[in-house]
Amino acid sequence: MGKAVSDAVLDAALNHIKSNAAALCVCTSEPTSYAEATSTYKLAQLSSFSSASTSWGSPANGDVSGRKIAVPAGSSISITAGSSASHVAVVSASALLYVTTCSTQNLTASGTVTVGTWDIEILDPA
């Protein structure tokens, strides 16, 4: 028996992230909760990251399969703690919405970091 999901279902998930995003956090490790993304592992946080204040894309066909949405870049994000960054998280006002890896780099407190544009892609079921 095959597996399938409607593009509308995947788009709803992507639009949920887009509509509820409040901040982008650069982290030392993979956060599994809102508290870890915004406190425990946080090195830098861009707090004005909502779809009202940034240019999120619209759901489109994925590069591999499924659907994707373009996440806007964040520039000159103030670094509050120095360490090695390995993950980026999108959070709402109270929940962890999405986590991905980034190129590992050492960040210095009181500096700034830029996170380029990237895609969230949800694949079709295999």
Residue 2 pLDDT exceeds 80: yes
2: in domain: no
Query: In terms of C-beta density within 10 A (0-12 exposed, 13-18 middle, 19 or more buried), how is residue 119 classed?
Result: middle
Residue 17 pLDDT exceeds 90: yes
Q: How far apart are the first and last CA of the chain?
A: 11
The pLDDT tens digits for 27-70 are 999 999 999 999 999 999 999 998 888 899 999 999 999 999 99
Query: Looking up tokens 């295999």, which residue turns up?
Result: 126
Q: How many domains does the chain have?
A: 1
Domain of residue 56 covers 7-122
Asked if 88 contacts 102 with a C-beta cutoff of 8 angstroms, the reply is: yes
What is the mean pLDDT of the segment spanning 87-102? 98
85: in domain: yes
- CA–CA separation, 12 and 18 (whole Å): 10
Asked if 13 contacts 48 with a C-beta cutoff of 8 angstroms, the reply is: no
Q: Per-residue confidence at 78, pLDDT binned at 50, 70, 90? A: very high
Q: Report the share of the chain in percent with pLDDT over 70.
A: 99
pLDDT at 54: 83
pLDDT at 101: 98
1: in domain: no
pLDDT at 35: 98
Residue 86 pLDDT exceeds 80: yes
Residue 1 pLDDT exceeds 90: no
Asked if 54 contacts 88 with a C-beta cutoff of 8 angstroms, the reply is: no
